[in-house]
Each structure stands twice: as structure tokens, then as C-alpha cells.
Amino acid sequence: MCELFGISSSRPTAAGGCLSRFGRRGGETADNPDGWGMAYRGPGGFVLHKAPGAAAHSARFARLAENVCSDLVIAHVRKANPPTAPVPANTHPFLRECCTRQWVFAHNGKVPELVRPDGCCHPRRTQPLGATDSEHAFYFLLEEIAASFHGTGAALGTSWLRTLAGYSDAIARHGQFNFLMSDGDYLIAYGHDRLHDLQRRDGDLHMTLVASEPLTTDARWQTFRPGELRVYHAGALRGRIRAAPAPRGEATVGND
């Protein structure tokens, strides 16, 4: 099944070792051969690279892993389940403009309800370019938070984050839904059932790694609680929101 990897750091830094290990999860050490992608923050915004092939056998991915130096990264290796066409439109991460800024999104899991004609959580104003449930979920979530997002940042308890947590929980009730998302400043991670983070400090460098599966033997990797949304900025965990139990198709949220 697809896997996620993200970095939030207090300053631009190289993470070639972790990115290289993650790339091997794309068709060598794990069965995710159907696409790879990497979005990282540069001086002018997000830079996005992706291809519908195996990261483990991609010279392009290997070069990026060794050369990227950034304080915000979202990467993905893909297992197409159910099968969809091996084209860039079905390859993560997805990048879209909303609320005067760029957003990036990558998903692990399967929520077939989202692409059924009579299913839930369809975006109303945006037509997905590909055929994945992941892209449908991304556009749906952006539309839902747009009304309450005013560029005020991701302080814990802001209405758009609470909305995001609630609708993420509602989607997760229809399948498996783990994701990494960014507004170009914060790294937002939602763990339905398969996400971990590792927080590091080295002098003035603060860094958090987020991954579907731990990429190192460090015992400090922490497993997300089911339904937990974590928010990182400049390498530090800024807050957590965990969706409270609710009937199918509904969600409420509460701060932990």
C-alpha cells in the first residue's frame, strides 16, 4: 500500500539518507512500484517532481533525494490499489492553489466511496484531473476549509483546522485515510491507522520526520493515535486535534 514521508525543519537541510531509504520503499523493500512524487518548498514556493514509475529504480528520484535541501518536504510512493492508469494525474503529491496560496497533499489508504457517483465527499466546484480517491479527497477538503481559512496560520484551535480534522474523520469512516498536507508553511499530518513521527534536535536545528513506517531504528518514533491530526511548524509539533466518535458521515472534534 502507498507510503508517505514528510519533513518539517527549522531551516533548510539535506535529508538524503532518509529520502533514499524512503525511495527504496517504492519497489524494492516494499511493494509500492506504481509511482513516486516529491514536493519541497523552495524560494518561490513548492517545487513538485513526480513520475508514474518505481522510485527504487528511478535515477531522477535518487538525484533529488541527494540534492534537495529544504525545510518542508512531502514525498510519496504509490501502490495503485485499485488499479488506475499509470499517469502523472494519478501520481501523488497533488498541488493546487487555494486561498491565495499553494497546497500539497498526499494520501495513503483506500476510500472507494469517494469516486462512486453516489458516494460521499465529492468536490462541488473542482474537477479532479485523475481517477484517484486521493485527489477527490484533497479537493473536497480544500473546498470545505476555504470558507474559514483566511491566511491566519495554523494555530491549534483555529476553525479551519478543526473543520479539516472533522471531515478527515468522516472520510476515514468509509475506508483507510492517512495523509500529509501543507499550505506552504505548516506540515499537517492525519493518521487514521498508519502514521509515525520522529522529532529531532541538534543545536539550533529542530526537525520532525513523519512516515507511514519508521525509516530508522530510532526508538523515539511515535505512533499516531487513531484519528489524530498533528500540526508541525519549523520542525516542532505545534498541536494535536483528535476527532471524537461520531455517527457515520458526521464528525466532531476536540483538542487533546
Reported as a single tens digit per residue, the pLDDT across 196-236 is: 999 999 999 999 999 999 999 999 999 999 999 999 999 99
Q: What is the pLDDT of residues 67-122, one digit of tens each?
A: 999 999 999 999 998 888 889 999 999 999 998 889 999 999 999 899 998 888 88
Per-residue pLDDT at 42: 95
Distances in Å between the Cα of 190 and the Cα atoms of 6, 47, 215 are 12, 22, 18
Q: What is the pLDDT of residues 29-47, one digit of tens each?
A: 999 999 999 999 999 999 9
Q: Is the pTM of this model over 0.85?
A: yes
Whether the pLDDT of residue 246 is over 70: the answer is no
Domains and their CATH numbers in the chain:
3-255 (3.60.20.10)
- 8 Å CB contact between 107 and 44: no
Helix axes 59-67, 16-24, angle to 10 degrees: 160
Q: What is the pLDDT of residues 134-185, one digit of tens each?
A: 999 999 999 999 888 866 555 445 788 889 999 999 999 999 999 999 999 9
